[in-house]
Amino acid sequence: MAARLPHRGRRRIVAACSAGWLALPAFPLAFAGRVALAQDDKPFSPFITTPSNTVMRMLSIASVGKDDHVIDLGSGDGRIPITAALKFGASGAGVDLDTRLVDVSNRNAAEAGVAARVRFERGDVFAADVRKATVVTLYMLPPIIQGLRPVLLRQLRPGSRIVSHDFPFDGWQADAIETFFAPEKNNGRGGDSTVFLYVVPAEVHGRWALTLSGSSPEDLPRGALELRLLQVNQVLDAEMTVGRQVLEARDARLAGDRLRFAAVLPVRAGGPPVMPWQFEGRVDGETIAGIARNPRGAEVRWQARRTARR
């Protein structure tokens, strides 16, 4: 968790522990539950550990694997990245403002035998470089969570996962939510933990010129196709036009760089509609490419090129 917000006009973050533990050797129990004083006369931050089962659920909900790089912002004693390395085969890193906790984290990584794959450093989480991350984990107070959102969306690649413990991003619908009992919470009295998964979406807002190609011309409309997407995070409103005719498009959604939507295509421009087509494609910057299928078993390839961002 993190404590009070920046003051006296200086943009400063107080990072705290965002983790739970899995019985690593020589765990520094003296740190558990303590208030960790920030360095250089900065505000203090409560060091609150995350229960062991919560750590595992955070990493599991993000489907962490050996190809992932997990960065924990406010990494405390390092337990999330270390657990990611030990139990999931990932590499990792952590950023914390408290020098003592950073030292503890690096010692814990060495004692766990994962120092070659996990490294911790002192730093302001708002200034952290997370471009290498495929997974970012957080356990911080809501104002700090909100402040980090544009930082994360600016740096992370589409498809990267963000997992926040107990505190969601306001205005961003989570891709998955799990609530469960954590026996270690509240100093051993137990309590509920909630983890929120967010998959970073590609940026697709705007107008796209769309082309279709396939072996069944009768299944393809004639005329210039345009796809219009209005984006709020991973949720989209979609509209398709062929010539001057507006077509029905619905159920548009993003999962990282994967786009899907349904549309009813006429056989010919201005002609009668046929069965809905399911469009699925992959976003690559200013282009999208994929396959569209209808219930009759017809299949066509489609490509789109962005023509405007409005």
Residue 15 belongs to some domain of the structure:
no
Q: In whole angstroms, give the CA distance from residue 138 to residue 259.
A: 27
pLDDT at 289: 97
Instruction: Give kind and range of the element (H or E) at residue 65.
Output: none
DSSP tag of 29? G
Instruction: State how beta strands 35-36 and 45-46 pair.
Output: antiparallel
Q: Is residue 13 part of a domain?
A: no
- The boundaries of the domain holding residue 294 are 206-308
Q: Are residues 103 and 138 located together in one domain of the fold?
A: yes
pLDDT in tens, 100-131: 999 999 999 999 999 999 999 999 999 999 99
Q: Which helix (H) or strand (E) segment is 144 a member of?
A: helix 142-155
Distance CA(134)–CA(112), nearest Å, equals 22
Residue 35 is predicted with a pLDDT of 30
Kindly report the pTM of this predicted structure.
Answer: 0.80
d(CA 189, CA 121): 32
pLDDT at 4: 30
Residue 292 lies in a domain: yes
Within a domain: 14: no
Same domain, 34 and 92: yes
Within this chain, do residues 149 and 221 fall inside the same structural domain, yes or no? no
Q: Which two tokens stand for residue 39?
A: 């360095």
pLDDT given for residue 295 in this prediction: 83
Q: How far apart are CA 310 and CA 205, in angstroms?
A: 7
Same domain, 146 and 210: no
Q: Are residues 211 and 151 in the same domain?
A: no
**Domain final residue, candidates 199, 227, 245:** 199
Asked if the structure places residue 149 within a domain, the reply is: yes
CATH for 57: 3.40.50.150
Are 264 and 145 found together in one domain?
no
Residue 193, strand partner residues: 180
Q: Sort residue 241 into left (φ over 0), alpha (ψ -120 to 50) or beta.
A: beta
Q: What angle do CA 198, 194, 89 make, to 5 degrees?
A: 65
Q: Is 274 helix (H, G, I), strand (E, B) or coil?
A: strand
For residues 192 and 277, give the distance between their C-alpha atoms in angstroms, rounded to a whole number: 43
Q: Which residues of the chain have pLDDT under 70?
A: 1-47, 215-223, 267-274
Report long-range pairs for 36-41 (Cβ below 8 Å, ≥24 apart): 36/76, 36/98, 36/100, 36/101, 37/98, 38/14, 38/97, 38/98, 39/97, 39/98, 39/99, 39/122
Q: Is residue 21 part of a domain?
A: no
In terms of phi and psi (left: phi > 0; alpha: psi -120 to 50; beta: otherwise), the region of 242 is beta
What three-state secondary structure class fits 32? coil
In terms of domains, do 83 and 225 share one? Answer: no
Q: Is the dihedral of CA 265, 268, 269, 270 positive or negative?
A: negative
The residue among 151, 174, 199 that closes a domain is 199
Distances (CA, A) of 176 to 28, 66, 97, 115, 200: 33, 22, 30, 31, 13
Is residue 149 within 8 A of residue 201, CB to CB? The reply is: no
* End-of-domain residue from the set 152, 184, 199: 199
CATH of the domain at 272: 2.40.128.120
Give dist(CA 228, CA 219) in Å, integer.
22
17 in a structural domain? no
- Domain count within the chain: 2
Asked if residue 125 lies in contact with residue 17, where contact means CB atoms within 8 angstroms, the answer is: no
Question: What is the per-residue pLDDT for 164?
Answer: 97
Strand positions, DSSP E, 35-151: 35-36, 45-46, 69-73, 91-96, 118-122, 135-138
pLDDT for res 264? 84
Q: What is the rounded CA–CA span in Å between residue 37 and residue 31?
A: 12
Considering the domain architecture, whether residues 141 and 274 belong to the same structural domain is answered as no
* Residue 4 in domain: no
